[in-house]
Amino acid sequence: MRRAQWVFIALFAVGCHAKDEARTLVGAVDAYRAASNDDKPKKAAAIDAVACTDEEVCKAKDACRKSADATAKGLELQAEIQDALKDGGKTDPDVMQKKFEEANSDLAEGYGELEDCRAKCQHLRERFGL
């Protein structure tokens, strides 16, 4: 085969790999968004686990990780607060207040990053026809 044909084959293979990465990431993000708040931390971990080598896929993954990880952390803290409220007041109120403030901060951070994730995933959908 001629050299140009090998170059074309190599570029095609790289493009297919990037499309697979994009499909996996977009699927993980869609599953995260559809999940209940109780399941979001597990779904956020699935976003973290997506492999990426394509620059645009990696940028989208980073944006989505920022949003999902912060939101998941905030939701986990909210669950801890709810569990602590069920213990009949045995938990130190100062500890509860600190967790409440941290949960609110994490949730605000996660929601603040959501649009960047959405936009980057939409770009991947358009680029790869997903």
Q: What are 62-117's pLDDT values in tens digits?
A: 999 999 999 999 999 999 988 888 877 678 888 889 999 999 999 999 999 999 99
Q: What is the pLDDT of residue 16?
A: 66
Whole-structure pTM value: 0.80
Report which DSSP code applies to 70.
Answer: H
* Residue 43: HSE in the Cβ half-sphere, 13 Å Cα cutoff: 22
Total domain count for the chain?
1
**Statement: residue 123 has pLDDT above 90:** yes
Q: Residue 98: give the domain boundaries.
A: 3-128
Listed in sequence order, the DSSP H helices in 1-130 are 3-34, 40-48, 55-85, 93-128
In this structure, what are the phi and psi dihedrals at residue 49, rounded to the nearest 5 degrees?
-80, -10
Report which DSSP code applies to 88.
Answer: T
**Statement: residue 4 has pLDDT above 80:** no
Q: What is the pLDDT of residue 25?
A: 97
